[in-house]
Amino acid sequence: MKQYSFYSIILLVLFSCSNTSTDKTSLSDKTSLIYPQEVHLKNMKQLTFSGDNAEAYWSYDDSKLVFQAKNEKWSALCDQIYITDTDNYLMATEIPDIVSTGLGRTTCSYFLPGDTTILFASTHLVDSMCPEEPKKREDGKYVWPIYNSFDIFVADLKGNIISQLTNTSGYDAEATVSPIGDKIVFTSMRSGDLELYTCDIDGSNVLQVTNQLGYDGGAFFSNDGKKLIFRSSRPQTPEEINEYKTLLGEGLVKPTEMELYTCNIDGSELKQITSLGGANWAPFFHPSDEKVIFSSNHKTTRGFPFNLFMIDVNGENLEQITFDTSFDAFPVFSNDGKKIVFSSNRNNGGTRSTNVFIADWKE
């Protein structure tokens, strides 16, 4: 959903397909995981091999990843949170350590400073079962659920919940932590709309960041901790506004039209940096803080593929990074800037599996 909460991840299922193309976008050979045009990636490794695996985030020392997975082989019927070493290539046969309760549905995990605790959102306090996913709508709209049972928790690396950071009525999720370790940003419905908020590491000093109608979510801090990058659907026409409010009243959002915005952590200097059309989401700052990498389907009229793109923070110099035939998303740079982790449908053997991949980053 970021949900995907926005964290099962419905996009990943809908847009899954095998890499069977024989044109110039094909993988360079049967053993390579990298397409010929993907010049920024090298030494790619596949970490997971079945299920829906997404939103992998680095520990501060870059030695571990925390991610969410839906995998019947792991007894995870809806998204749960797992932790693994970054060089663990045994998840084809071994189950990584679970750090969520195994109850309800979880999303958007992230390491806290010190790498001994993680935060994530979970529905387990309201119901131990997986919440119902939206049924196919008669009007044909593709929607994401916004479960009002999501709250944000902190757990240790053994899965013991230490504290609950949110307890307001309605959706609280999509939390990430500043690289400098002082703040958390998250999405909440507490104002009646889906807005961004920041708080201190212990959950205190909650401040509202955004205040315009529309879904603001999937926010990340810049490396210097001064700015935020996030995705937003900003309805403009009376018809768009009515549709947004009607769906939100049903606990739903339509994620098919989203653009990227930046702002200071107090909400000032708000800027729209993409106007590409389609769904532009899962943004993350480049190590330089002068660019952002993100997932987008703007080059297609059929809704997929999604690929990774890079753009300057002023909205210039758009560059395509991946050239998959189905789905690449959730790109995250390591804290030292040397590696990138992302989720992809590549090399899934024609299944609907979405897996986590790690690669060296080459400028």
Q: What CATH code is carried by the domain that includes residue 22?
A: 2.120.10.30
Average per-residue pLDDT for the chain: 92
pTM of the full predicted structure? 0.93
Q: For residue 9, name the pLDDT band (cuts at 50, 70, 90).
A: very low
pLDDT of residue 303: 84
Q: For residue 11, name the pLDDT band (cuts at 50, 70, 90).
A: very low
pLDDT digits (tens, 9 = 90+) for 284-294: 999 999 999 99
Residue 5 located in a structural domain: no
pLDDT (average), residues 227-241: 97
Q: For residue 140, name the pLDDT band (cuts at 50, 70, 90).
A: confident
Residue 1 located in a structural domain: no
Domains of the chain: total: 1
Residue 151 located in a structural domain: yes
Q: For residue 327, name the pLDDT band (cuts at 50, 70, 90).
A: very high
276 has pLDDT over 70: yes
pLDDT of residue 25: 52
pLDDT of residue 14: 39
Q: For residue 302, name the pLDDT band (cuts at 50, 70, 90).
A: confident
49 has pLDDT over 50: yes
Residue 306 located in a structural domain: yes
Residue 155 located in a structural domain: yes
Q: For residue 239, name the pLDDT band (cuts at 50, 70, 90).
A: very high
pLDDT of residue 141: 86
Residue 3 located in a structural domain: no
Q: For residue 16, name the pLDDT band (cuts at 50, 70, 90).
A: very low
Residue 200 located in a structural domain: yes
Residue 4 located in a structural domain: no
**Domain that residue 75 falls in:** 10-361
Q: What is the 3-state secondary structure (H, E, C) of the chain?
A: CCCCCCCCCHHHHHCCCCCCCCCCCCCCCCCCCCCCCCCCEEEEEECCCCCEEEEEEECCCCCEEEEEEEEHHHCEEEEEEEEEECCCCCCCCCCCEECCCCCCCEEEEEECCCCCEEEEEECCCCCCCCCCCCCCCCCCCCCEECCCCCEEEEEECCCCEEEECCCCCCCEEEEEECCCCCEEEEEECCCCCCEEEEEECCCCCCEECCCCCCEEEEEEECCCCCEEEEEEECCCCHHHHHHHHHHHHCCEECCCCEEEEEEECCCCCCEECCCCCCEEEEEEECCCCCEEEEEECCCCCCCCCEEEEEEECCCCCCEECCCCCCEEEEEEECCCCCEEEEEECCCCCCCCCEEEEEEEECC
